Homo-oligomer: A and B are copies of this chain.
């Protein structure tokens, strides 16, 4: 008899943990991803800010799953899901039938209906995004050095981060550090110290999901690094020359989008109710209402009280995988319970904010927690060791070793 076919779409934290939960299950498992790598997204901002190389935060999916003999990895993009026919359709028309499906396709940037802003304000979701941001930031200093007109030079030295969540805070803090420390003494016509980093946030404080006291501490730490914070302001326009905020205009040649995400369009194929961000409102066991053979894991799942962070995606992935094993054993799927280990955001070197249960941490202690947690969770031993050396080196020298401008194919 043929083994039950399980398909997982997406190999981020949700998909990979689901695949590993099914490691010894008597199934024929197919893992589909449109990249060839699992990405350690919590450190992606370090790639964007030249602190780590791309391979330091990414591992080939085939290699991670090579010893899982029941698993086939498929590199390609899913075009649609047909839940009635129980088939996943690839972009080349290939059809992949399933008995059970886990959709862990995650999210992408949302420009809130202003997709025309995308070329001027890249977001940070993929390795390509990170390398593009790195290229723009490093090039901006080079352009400033060559520019003789003071106003144009100031626009090259102005960096705007839109969105004051964890990613925006991490990027803005690191940009300020690069300007004040990393590049010191390297230019002859400009002083990178004069660069301006502006963090724009629509809410009245940075890190809105955190307790207000920690937001205040984060704001103070950012300001100490030299970041200008503009809370309670909405971006109304972005173009090649800068950012509009209502009547106000800010000339800036580098704008980074860290403001909003929208869900993978695959969620809509399932015929289930979606929330405002396009996430699938899943049943308590993570299955899709009306399709008990389809589960959602990670950022694509809308479930009360479960945040869109890596530990939650891992827990959901593992739970979805285990629920499939239960179903195969003839047992019912069980409810998902989120275990909250806390949240962490870092603000440059030496400072971070964290909530761990009811405990709130900030400053150097929180930063140490952040460092240990992130090195610990990096996917394999080699990466951990190399990342530790890179960071130790960067910490003492303020240097960022990945400061290499790699031109995209377009600009060659």
- Give me the interface of A with B, judged by CB distance under 8 Å: 35-37, 53-56, 58, 60, 62-63, 66-67, 72-76, 92, 94, 127-128, 131-132, 138, 142, 145-146, 183, 185-189, 382-383, 385-386, 389-390, 393, 399, 401-412
CB-CB nearest in chain B for A54 = B404
List the B side residues contacting A393 at CB < 8 Å.
Answer: 382
Task: Please state the number of chain copies in the assembly.
Answer: 2
Name, among A63, A66, A145, the residue most crowded by chain B CB atoms within 10 Å (CB to CB). A63
- B385, B406, B411: the one within 8 Å of A127 (CB): B406
List the B side residues contacting A54 at CB < 8 Å.
Answer: 53-54, 402, 404, 406
How far is the CB of A34 from the nearest CB of chain B, in Å? 10
A186, B37: Cα distance in complex, Å: 13
Tell me the interface secondary structure of chain A in the complex: mixed
Given contacts A53-B53, A145-B75, contact A401 B383 (CB under 8 A): yes
List the B side residues contacting A74 at CB < 8 Å.
Answer: 145-146
CB-CB nearest in chain B for A402 = B55
The answer to whether A36 touches B186 (Cβ under 8 A) is: no
A173, B268: Cα distance in complex, Å: 48
Given contacts A406-B127, A406-B128, contact A390 B382 (CB under 8 A): yes
A66, B245: Cα distance in complex, Å: 38
List the B side residues contacting A131 at CB < 8 Å.
Answer: 406
The answer to whether B36 touches A142 (Cβ under 8 A) is: yes
- B66, B92, B142, B409: the one within 8 Å of A410 (CB): B409
List the B side residues contacting A75 at CB < 8 Å.
Answer: 142, 145-146
The answer to whether A404 touches B186 (Cβ under 8 A) is: no
A60, B141: Cα distance in complex, Å: 13
- B36, B145, B403, B409: the one within 8 Å of A138 (CB): B36
A72, B94: Cα distance in complex, Å: 56
List the B side residues contacting A36 at CB < 8 Å.
Answer: 138, 142, 403-405
List the B side residues contacting A412 at CB < 8 Å.
Answer: 128
CB-CB nearest in chain B for A381 = B393
